[in-house]
Amino acid sequence: MSEPTERPLVHLRGGGVSVLLDARSTGVPVVLHWGEDLGDGAGFDAPVWAPAVSNNAVDVPVPLSLLPEEALGWSGRAGLVGHRGGHDWSPSFLLQDLQATSDQIVVELADPVARLGVTCELYLDGTGVLRVRHTVRNTGDEPYVLDRLAVTLPVPGRASEVLDLTGRWCREAHPQRRDLQQGAWVRESRHGRTGHDASLVLVAGTPGFGWRHGEVWAVHLGWSGNHTTWAERGPDGRGTLGVGELLGPGEVILAPGQECATPWAYATWSDQGLDGLSASYHRWVRSRPSHPRTTRPVVLNTWEAVYFQHDLGVLSELADSAAALGVERFVLDDGWFGQRRNDHAGLGDWEVSGEVWPQGLGPLIEHVRGLGMAFGLWVEPEMVNPDSDLYRAHPEWVLRERPGSPLPPPSRHQQVLDLGQSAAFDHILGRLDALLTENAISYLKWDHNRDLVAAGHDGRPGVHGQTLAIYRLLDELRRRHPDVEIESCSSGGARADLGILERTDRVWVSDCNDALERQTIQRWMGLLLPPELMGEHIGPPTAHTTGRTHSLGFRAVTALFGHLGLEWDVRQAGEAERRVLTDVIAFHRRHRDLLHAGTTVRPDPIDTSHHVHGVVDDGEALFAYVQLASSPAEVPAPVLLPGLDDDRTYRVRAEHVAGAPLTVQRVAPPWLDAPDGVRLTGRQLRITGLPVPVLAPEQALLLHLVAD
């Protein structure tokens, strides 16, 4: 390491988290600590703190810096990888400047030999979420090929298990976990979108960490293109978590003077298990100026109600039914434009179809608005069907390996527009702008229904540029139409990340409306996203994507914890179903202030046959006790309800909707039928719990707790 200077140790603290940087060498600041708050005056002395040097390693301690460097002996994944024609491949940065305030550090680095500069930015506020971004600059006079620029953070040896998410269409956000042994657990997403299988949040924690216990460290990358996340443990035992964009060969070549930034990495720590992590993430997400502040309106989405069968009469009747149930936003899904009578044609032709809408969308919009609902419209702006007027006019606007090369394999019969071409970008922006200007549309469901494959721009990999272009497109559209809300959909939840959410207001979590599948998907997506950002719809009795049939009670309890909607031809619903739906929607509307602002809690389940989740706020809570499969025990153990105020007494009642419990119980504990429920303290509910009825698989009990 270089000679020490007068530069300081720099300590950021916020939300119970500390980050301690050692900036006393002349090189890249070392991350001495990221995790539990170290308190006032961290009191670390670098010579004492430096790690031991092992036999046969380099003779000086190898720093784990903000940008780990091979040049100093780091043998794990380096923070910056690139070259200039095979040279300048192992930079060694010198610290130029460090500016620190109570919640941010900005570090300037330079390598005068490799002719590179790097800016590292770290922000930590009271939410406990540390945001980190690095920007590399080519200060030379020849191009620099950037292969990787990543955010790396240390985790201690006791963080010996890792958990991340994976999934597929209709089965997003499923956890997988393993021991973190020597080597790297690397996830690489090459879908050109965040991906159904996105790791979403990569967690390292102490052995056996759970929802409510264990020490955990987590990272998320706010990026909607190709990306990589990893957890690594080196031979010296040191662990790291890393996130960065996954760049294709020659995808980013920095011209002299040019720079490239990583997406923001969002890192947090908790000693309260996964609930502690999600509490920090939710706090941060909710603190953003762009976070939706208005009441989340109950939605009806037409997709599973009518699919491509658009008809003014039918949709007007559907709107009537929806409004009578208490729906507040009516979203017309795919099928309203061009030749889009099925998914083989029409994408790209963003003109209202004269065939199905001879008088335009005006009459439906007026009808919907006349019923007191807002009107939303589905679009998929980045895509084109080869069978479309747009493609016939501009086949050159499609992402492909190089101009003139064969098209990439179709997916859902569609290709991806190259929005890095300004003519294509301007055309799509113009069409969307016109739609929003000419019609009273206050909401777009913005879809993206395929992976990007061999997606080249001008003969070079194009996902990086495409991702930035789509962000620009959204930003410009929002600038022109600031009151229009946008939902991020990508064949369900394949574009759910904090990059797209900087410019959208809701995520369509999954195309699967099967309540049983949704229980798992929503639980894990909720690790990052607060409930108000997650679109959750009550579908028809038999789920279209799985063929499972569920009671309305189970479907309703499953959907009402998020941003509630219906996706069902409710014209067909019977009288009893309509009564329940009316009550469920009214219930959600009464309680959405709690549901959309409270703290999500999920006690660790005793076995995998059930789970419990809830939202807790000042003096009030809603919990769902959910039977996923048949229980191994004849009588379920009392359910522990954490997160409440120990010293307050709560009246606990099962919520009844339309005069009947949302679920059918077989043998009920006595409190369930008592008109006033049962009164227990927060401490009792946390420690001894609440006796619950025996539920059949795929039933759920909704509990409402109000403090005295």
Q: Catalytic residue positions? A: 447, 511
Treating both helix axes as pointing N-terminal to C-terminal, what angle do 422-438 and 463-480 enclose, rounded to 10 degrees? 30
By beta-carbon proximity to ligand GLA, the closer residue of 24 and 495 is 495
By beta-carbon proximity to ligand GLA, the closer residue of 286 and 413 is 413
By beta-carbon proximity to ligand GLA, the closer residue of 80 and 533 is 533
How near is the Cβ of 596 to ligand GLA at its closest, in Å? 22
How near is the Cβ of 193 to ligand GLA at its closest, in Å? 12
Give start and end residues of each alpha helix (H) in 387-462: 389-393, 422-438
How near is the Cβ of 383 to ligand GLA at its closest, in Å? 10
Residue with tokens 């996105």: 198
Residue 446 and residue 504 in contact, taking contact as beta carbons nearer than 8 Å:
yes
By beta-carbon proximity to ligand GLA, the closer residue of 245 and 304 is 304
681 Cβ contact partners less than 8 Å away, ≥ 6 residues apart:
646, 647, 648, 649, 650
Residue 4, both tokens:
């020490």
Residue 34 and residue 154 in contact, taking contact as beta carbons nearer than 8 Å:
yes
Residue 419, both tokens:
């929005």
3-class DSSP state for residue 675? coil
How near is the Cβ of 486 to ligand GLA at its closest, in Å? 14
Name the phi and psi angles at 408, rounded to 5.
-60, 160
Query: Where on the chain is the footprint of ligand GLA (CB under 6 A)?
Result: 303, 333-334, 343, 378, 447, 449, 489, 491-492, 508, 511
Phi-psi region of 426 (alpha: psi -120 to 50; beta: other; left: phi over 0): alpha
Residue 49, both tokens:
């703190």
How near is the Cβ of 303 to ligand GLA at its closest, in Å? 5
For β-strands 252-254 and 144-155, DSSP reports them as: antiparallel
How near is the Cβ of 545 to ligand GLA at its closest, in Å? 10
Residue with CB nearest ligand GLA? 334
Residue 417, both tokens:
């527009």
- Distance CA(559)–CA(581), nearest Å, equals 12
By beta-carbon proximity to ligand GLA, the closer residue of 332 and 474 is 332
- Distance CA(677)–CA(673), nearest Å, equals 7
3-class DSSP state for residue 517? helix
Distances (CA, A) of 473 to 465, 503, 657: 12, 10, 44
Torsion of CA 172, 174, 178, 184, to 10 degrees: 10
By beta-carbon proximity to ligand GLA, the closer residue of 385 and 551 is 385
Residue 377 and residue 444 in contact, taking contact as beta carbons nearer than 8 Å:
yes
DSSP state of 395: G
How near is the Cβ of 543 to ligand GLA at its closest, in Å? 14
